[in-house]
A and B are shown apart, each in its own frame.
Chain A
């Protein structure tokens, strides 16, 4: 369970996240939507403890991210925006480092490494430096480090950004599969992703929650006929027009 309770974060005059509350249970894939600058990435950072909230709290399986950061982070896998990674490391070294910090026992480490490498198709680049990887492989390396410890909750900031259509399809399949017993939050501005992987969608604009519904419910708000994706698109624009920061 990931919970946000009246989560608020200010940067000086700007309120990036404004009194945001929601809860996501295992089995759910929450699509976190909003125009650029709506506060998506700031929310991800508050949920994972990279930023501290100005007020309110975030909880991961009951652990307050501020007061019990270690327990909260141990339960969490996180792909930060842009899939940052140490350029001079190979994919294998990156995963070994994350496994060591997370205290995965050496025997389990091998099994987990093989699993994520196989699932994300990283075998061909395992011993290549991250600086030499294409955008797609880099993103998948970022997903691999987030999934390595088989966390009960995943926070993925734009997991399919930079992937080609085939890779997008694979990663979405992977997310759906993991969703069976995990809590997953996916931030995205790609609306087709909502229909493809999400069981629920939250739209924020200007840091505030404007909608919390199923993808079908979101599509219904468009009040038009046609394919679901097109209707989600129309509903999104109607809900967020004029919002967001300059």
Chain B
């Protein structure tokens, strides 16, 4: 269900990438406070923006399309959007 997918997204956000998302990003719900990339709570990105950024990278942010499946990228995007929208 939806909750499972969000939980999967949360787990991938926390542990599914190298470096981990939270090393660079602040996301209150996940308890991360990285200060390198944008603060996701402030940014409130769209799903499209997260999906594209994780897949292709942005500036110094690496592309994760080789290490994550499209479904995993989608799960991260859904999770980040769900916990950052007002």
Are chains A and B native binding partners rather than an unrelated pairing? no
Chain B: residues with CB nearer than 8 A to chain A? Answer: none
